[in-house]
């Protein structure tokens, strides 16, 4: 696999020196230390239907794991604030910076990411956050941007009537207003994904985990995300999930 959670640094050789004899004292070099792996951990990307309580579930899962949660609003704020973007970029190691750009190139080659400047900037932010792993990202197409082997891609859904009821309660809307909010938000998200990632949110084959929040409830959904994350870490690296 191209992108793995294990270290995949390539051995560097100097042309013409491979077979030349080595003279002189080389010094006590000690044990070679491999560069840290990129990404160094798993990222959880959560997609959700409007009114399915995906935001609350993401927060619960992040709390149970002790991971930072970045909601859609936070990701958009980082993208708009130059100082935050610069700080995020400056904290990346050279290996992580290279990993981010290689994944941007991959997505563009595969034509699975649009060349819209704001979308490219958001993709770089999501990849930068994912390069360290152990974060939960909600929305903005994170599950389409991050490599699958390093990501648990989750979809939260619920029956339309339950979603409308939740939206009405949350925003204090009439039944008609709540139904319209659900319709508009679902349509806007689907349009964003189709336009910039050429995918359909309803395609179940792209997700690792599908959760009906009405049947399972927020806390059980969060527990299942945590268990799936730990299981994927173990399946990918052989190490126990944190």
CATH of the domain at 145: 3.40.50.300
Q: Tell me the C-alpha distance between 88 and 124, whole Å.
A: 10
Is 6 within the bounds of a domain?
no
pTM of the model: 0.82
Transcribe 176-207 into DSSP letters: HHHHHHHHHHHHHHHHHHHHHH---TT-GGG-
pLDDT digits (tens, 9 = 90+) for 147-191: 999 999 999 999 999 999 999 999 999 999 999 999 999 999 999
Is 11 within the bounds of a domain?
no
Is 61 within the bounds of a domain?
yes
pLDDT digits (tens, 9 = 90+) for 55-74: 999 999 999 999 999 999 99
Is 13 within the bounds of a domain?
no
Residue 85 is part of which domain span?
43-237
Is 215 within the bounds of a domain?
yes
Tally of domains in the chain: 1
pLDDT of residue 7 exceeding 80: no
């Amino acid at each position: 696999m191209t992108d793995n959670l294990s270290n995949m640094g390539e051995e560097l050789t100097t042309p013409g020196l491979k077979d030349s004899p080595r003279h002189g004292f080389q010094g006590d070099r000690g044990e070679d230390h491999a560069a840290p792996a990129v990404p160094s951990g798993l990222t959880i990307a959560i997609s959700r239907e409007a009114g399915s309580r995906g935001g609350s579930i993401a927060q619960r899962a992040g709390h149970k794991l002790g991971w930072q949660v970045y909601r859609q609003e936070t990701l958009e704020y980082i993208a708009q604030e130059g100082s935050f973007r610069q700080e995020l970029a400056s904290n990346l190691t050279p290996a992580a910076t290279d990993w981010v750009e290689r994944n941007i190139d991959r997505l563009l080659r595969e034509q699975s990411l649009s060349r819209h400047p704001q979308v490219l900037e958001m993709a770089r932010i999501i990849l930068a956050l994912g390069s360290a792993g152990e974060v939960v990202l909600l929305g903005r197409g994170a599950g389409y941007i991050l490599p699958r082997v390093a990501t648990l891609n989750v979809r939260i859904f619920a029956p339309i009537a339950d979603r409308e009821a939740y939206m009405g309660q949350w925003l204090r809307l009439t039944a008609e207003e709540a139904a319209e909010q659900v319709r508009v938000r679902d349509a806007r998200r689907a349009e964003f994904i189709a336009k910039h990632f050429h995918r359909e949110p309803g395609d179940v084959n792209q997700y690792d985990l599908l959760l009906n929040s009405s049947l399972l409830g927020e806390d059980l959904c969060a527990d299942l995300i945590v268990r799936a994350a730990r299981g994927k870490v173990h399946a990918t690296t052989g190490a126990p999930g944190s």
